[in-house]
Chain A
Amino acid sequence: MRCGEWRGWLQHSPRHTPIANGKGATPAAPLIAPIPQSHWPTGAAGVKQRSVMSDPAAASPPLKPASAVPTHAELFLAFFQITLSGFGGTLPWTRRMFVEKKKWMTAQEFNDAYALCQFLPGPNIVNLTMIFGARMRGATGALACWSGFLLLPFVLMVTVGALYARYGDIAALHRILTGIIAAAAGLLIATVAKMAVPLLRKGIGRPAPFVLVATALSIGVMRWPLLSVMAALVPSSIALTWWRR
């Protein structure tokens, strides 16, 4: 099976703009801009399916042995390494590892997989790890990628949580964190502005601006429960979009 088929599994309509990346504020656009097809690696570098041996079309010229499919250990270590270097958001590092260093994915494939993760609920890159692992090595591969990605941050967070429980009362620490969260709020405002402008440009009569503002107000200002708001807004948004299509 060739890279084109792999891509097909994950392909996603390109008209939906990226929503957000791992750290919420790193500019996402240059990373996930569409890559022309001519940039795809050709030949052996693009072959990377576990079914490569069983696929008669791919088997005739043995472009690459099955070793092109990363092992469980390789998958685990790749994601472990990503989290080691993941300061300032893990998305750029994940992309660098997948696309540039290991060439397990073409740029287009990465974009497609990430677009799907943005559409689905849940933490985007965590979802991406499992989609990717499942493609490479099935359920156990998914587990390898997922645990490789989460192990180190989890240990770190437990450590930091224990330190905070002990030293959280120190005034200097609290002052630093007060500054950080003020900046973090600003970064998030900028991210929201970048995402919202294209939607608001669609015009007041369209469903998108209305749904955006309704969501932000009911959760952010009214502080209504997420479950109730989603139960009302998701069907409404789908109905409005269908009606005004």
Chain B
Amino acid sequence: MKADGDILITLAAQFTIMALLAFGGANAVVPEIHRQAVELRGWMTEAQFADLFAIAQVAPGPNVMLVSLVGFHVAGLWGALVATLAMCGPTAVLAALLSRTWDRFRGAPWRDIVQTALVPISVGLVAATAIVLTQVADRSWPAVAITAATAAVAYWTRWNPLWLIGIAGMAGLAGLI
């Protein structure tokens, strides 16, 4: 667990930029994290990325904590700290500052247009995350079946998603996937 200065700077810069572009919340930047960590910089394998995402998904707390796990994997405790601060700090300060200013422009036509224009982008980003994750997750036919079944149940019923995740984890443990 070495905390190389260059890596910390890279983590800080990349996660700050990602956060500022994360229209649609933390889930919107999963493809970019994957691109940076797996494809571009080789910080981790595809399987490790999948593991970390799954852990962040079942752990309590917000999904954004995936960046802490990625940061820890890359550069230990300091990496986790830098990645988390970069992802969660600047945008939250911006939100607090903007929340007053933004309201001053209520009723301004451009404000409505900007809001309307950003909605499909944020949904598109989360859709991209779904595409990337499905490719990462579904390496066998049983896994495809689990994904399809979970999607159907979650779309058409009101079951608690934790049950679905638990069942899928048990199926995985039993070696069915």
Contact = CB atoms under 8 A, between A and B. Distances in A.
A154 B80 contact: yes
Interface residues of A, number: 111
Interface string B70-100: 0011000100110010011011111110111
Interface string A1-32: 00000001111010011011011111100000
Contact of B95 (A131, A158, A214): A131
Contacts of B173: 172, 175-176, 179
Given A156-B60, A158-B77, A186 B148 contact: yes
Interface string B140-154: 000110111111111
Contacts of A223: 31, 35, 39, 132
B25 A19 contact: yes
A8 B104 CA distance: 10
A183 B170 CA distance: 11
Nearest to B64: A123
A205 to B, nearest CB: 14
Interface stretch (A68-76, A85-93, A96-104): A85-93
Given A11-B103, A123-B19, A175-B177, A189 B122 contact: no
B38 to A, nearest CB: 10
Contacts of A179: 143, 146, 168-173, 176-177
B54 A180 contact: yes
Given A122-B20, A161-B69, A223-B39, 13 more contacts: A13-B115, A86-B61, A88-B162, A118-B24, A158-B72, A177-B54, A189-B151, A208-B120, A211-B117, A215-B120, A215-B125, A216-B128, A245-B113
Interface of A: 8-11, 13, 16-17, 19-20, 22-27, 83-88, 90, 113, 116-131, 133-134, 142, 146, 149-150, 152-154, 156-158, 160-162, 164-165, 168, 172-196, 199, 207-221, 223, 225-227, 230, 233-234, 237-238, 240-242, 245
Interface of B: 1, 17-27, 29, 31-32, 35, 39, 47-48, 50-65, 68-69, 72-73, 77, 80-81, 84, 87-88, 90-96, 98-100, 102-103, 106, 110-134, 136-138, 143-144, 146-155, 158, 160-162, 164-165, 167-173, 175-177
